[in-house]
Structure 1
């Protein structure tokens, strides 16, 4: 009900009577909410009276902005590119190592199988990598396993942190179905039945079709885990005999707090089975006879598993395997032994081992510098085009002649 304005009454009295009438109407239980009670609060936010700033984009404001952004990103890109150039790195592709003749002495690797960058390359202390392979005895019925030995040179001292990575190509961890294939409740040791796993995100690797038991850990990510192993590099003497180890740690290779996503399992070994690839694999994730009591895989204590479960955003990626933050890798010839267990032929990819240093901007990542320099170049180009347009065909800001109703030739009618 609206209050009528009564003659002879002040505005204050009218407002008071209106408020009283609203309160009276609210007290009446007529089954309807008073229209006046539905009014929004009289605030700047509710009544859309907030102060706002609307920039006027003119040539005098846009041109300096584009030039400023160009200078800023040019400086950032130049510093980033110059910094990562100081990061020493050696990349060795050992995909075809198992194709070598077993038991033969080391032979020189093809030039397209390795790549290196050292800021102060000592050519007299550098020689092309060599490799050899031998087969490893495995239980009957298991696939043949190989041990690849790589000999490589370090021409400069590598200090202030030495990191060992593995790299895969053409492996699409960013596929939507793949990256969703994990059960976080299972990783937190919460009760999960085989039906829950099979009907959830882990399908089709939630339940074993032969035994009907739940798979632990379930899903495509865990099933395809990288299981090659890398020993510590060994310094060789002139007779190519190991004389010392460069000790590297497999701890602290995950992001801070990553372990909180996992808890040690308390499942009975008789109620769960390993993923299918783990049953037929060798290496640290090989369980050819399934789980035994007291020997169930523990994701909380395995940092390599945690590194793999954080999926990569691109089909070519590297993941940290070992690190040494204190010692210096001296100049010399080294030997690296790799347990070659992981098949890459099934997806047409390659695998490499990377020995690298890092800088304050991270590893040797040239893409970041290139991206920043590209943004600087784009902004500078736009600034030049805008300046040329204003010089050739100038336009006065706020010219009302460009309005459609003031310019009949551009009117819609």
Structure 2
């Protein structure tokens, strides 16, 4: 709480018309938010034109952000020689600073706007004030600029018709003496050399928790006093009473904190000085000892460092005549010196590279450290066996429910006349490459039935093969010339090849047709590729160009009237496989196949796997929740479950037949060796 009594400045000082301002500030809390309430009363001389007034205000007191002040003044009027002005009863003041938090407290620049709410006020525009208080070392420079919306004559605060007032001040900050504020102010508008007043604040402690601040000064009035020259005068401008309990506690706490930090720094400096002195001494001793060892001279008497307490111990000189004893002594000395050097290096690294303390870096996070007793071990293995064994049986059962038909046709579809030269059969355009195969359905196959082609000994994961493609060209038609990575399948005389590279060039081109009796079975080739590949990897406006028009044809052709995103056979083929034996989806059959039915497959044997010793197979398969036919998961689960069950049985037998108490030290290796001796 602060209580102050202030004598406001006026031009009529010689007429004894100086108003007296009484002000009290009380901090309050509203809904948990800090506010500052103020009550002020102004008393004027009876002969003054202005009457007495009472003012109540409420201001926000947040540590950051602009402040908002709402004031209520008793309705009064100010009478001058020419006009009578009414004072607005309700005013709103918005004040902001330019600091990072936007608070006007301790800000070098403060901007405020004052809004007057009065029915008699014909001009509701606000009054603006800009106050500069930059800090220069231990002083601050103050300058205030005010604006006025009216063109009336000067008021009590020196407002002029030009709507502005300037004032300058030099205020020392945080000086150790009682002169808290020293200012040089101009009391006359537009003048710096006239009407100068030197003012200061003096702090007088009354009691332990109360202090009185007096603002007084010596000035020279700018108003003529009847003499030839203006006469100086002495006056008290402001008297303020303030509680200092919070300030004293804050200063004491700050001083204690600074004292503690200073003592800690002194201790660290003393400790580091001792460590540095010890290191220097040890380095000198080790250097002398190493020189003695290298030169072959007897060890001189030197000091050794005792790590406990920093004391020194003297090692006596050892004179030996036996070369073997001297050599062994030298080796032990060198080893001891090297160990001490390593210790010093570790200490230096610890002092200079110590990380900031945290529970993570110091490994102090909560941790569960179970004690692995035999009961816990046996129980864990039994639970794993109980969980994994039924899971493995379930996976095997699901895999057996999948119906799969696989037929290899590469050797049977090669005529006997071309058995010694299969390449000429594939490369010739005059040979009939049609091959008919018959398949029998072992069990009922429910739709959808997936058709795969399977290749063996085909290494799609070869580095040069995988890199021979241009993903930019596949996505964007403007990147058709990006064929640098596709060599040698990158272009011909007609321009670049789209799609280029070995992967697209070697597209699988065997075809399958399925018949049930004399009726053809429809093959659905839609949605056999991933939707993400069609949408993001292959452009909808990229069309094949110059594809398979090279002198050496590698595989299937593409329809140049369809964009690459619709040619799903190419998209499936270009998702390269990781293993040399792989399957790729050819299509789907959306009708059921009954058990023991005979299916006829008409194959066009176009793809050349004979040149590298590969195999070609056609596969029909159903699918369920586990996918296609795959016994690996079931066998893996059964293996793990069986091993855990076997280990659990062995631990049970060992625990029953040869029990021993937990934590018995007699079973330690050094104790067992001691007993044997």
TM-score of the alignment, normalized to the shorter chain, above 0.5: yes
Paired position in structure 1 for 2:557: 286
Query: Which digits, 9 at most, give the CA deviation of each residue in 1:12-47, with x for residues without a partner?
Result: 45467799xxxxxxxxxxxxxxxx9x9866543455
Paired position in structure 1 for 2:451: 164
Measure, in 1, the Cα distance between the counterparts of 2:587 and 2:547.
Answer: 29
- Asked if the contact 2:441/2:594 (under 8 Å) is kept, the reply is yes
Measure, in 1, the Cα distance between the counterparts of 2:504 and 2:658.
Answer: 63
Counterpart of 1:196 (choices 457, 480, 484) is 484
Structure 2 residue 520 is matched with structure 1 residue 245: yes
- The SS at the match of 1:98 is coil
Measure, in 1, the Cα distance between the counterparts of 2:544 and 2:456.
Answer: 37
- Asked if the contact 2:542/2:564 (under 8 Å) is kept, the reply is no
Structure 2 residue 358 is matched with structure 1 residue 77: no
Change (3 A) 1:405 1:364: same
Measure, in 2, the Cα distance between the counterparts of 1:154 and 1:309.
Answer: 31
- Asked if the contact 2:444/2:593 (under 8 Å) is kept, the reply is yes
Structure 2 residue 629 is matched with structure 1 residue 361: no
Change (3 A) 1:205 1:391: farther
The number of residues matched between the two structures is 329
Deviation at 1:77, TM superposition (A): 1.2
Counterpart of 2:498 (choices 216, 224, 232) is 216
In the TM superposition, 1:87-102 aligns within 5 A as 87-100=402-415
Paired position in structure 2 for 1:230: 512
Change (3 A) 1:406 1:255: farther
Runs of 5+ in structure 2 lacking a partner?
1-252, 265-350, 418-424
Structure 2 residue 371 is matched with structure 1 residue 56: yes
Measure, in 1, the Cα distance between the counterparts of 2:604 and 2:572.
Answer: 19
TM-score under structure 1 normalisation? 0.65
TM-score under structure 2 normalisation? 0.42
Counterpart of 1:382 (choices 630, 637, 647) is 647
Deviation at 1:393, TM superposition (A): 4.9
Counterpart of 2:473 (choices 186, 193, 199) is 186
Measure, in 2, the Cα distance between the counterparts of 1:155 and 1:383.
Answer: 42
- The SS at the match of 1:96 is coil
Paired position in structure 1 for 2:529: 254
- Asked if the contact 2:382/2:644 (under 8 Å) is kept, the reply is yes
Change (3 A) 1:349 1:196: closer
Change (3 A) 1:223 1:266: closer
Measure, in 2, the Cα distance between the counterparts of 1:268 and 1:335.
Answer: 34
The structure whose RCO (Cα within 8 Å, separation 6+) is larger is 1
Change (3 A) 1:255 1:14: farther
Deviation at 1:342, TM superposition (A): 0.9
Measure, in 2, the Cα distance between the counterparts of 1:155 and 1:44.
Answer: 65
Paired position in structure 2 for 1:207: 490
- How large is the Cα RMSD of the aligned pairs? 4.1
Judging by fraction of residues, say which structure has more strand: 2
Change (3 A) 1:301 1:17: farther
In the TM superposition, 1:103-142 aligns within 5 A as 142=429
Deviation at 1:246, TM superposition (A): 2.4
Larger-Rg structure? 2
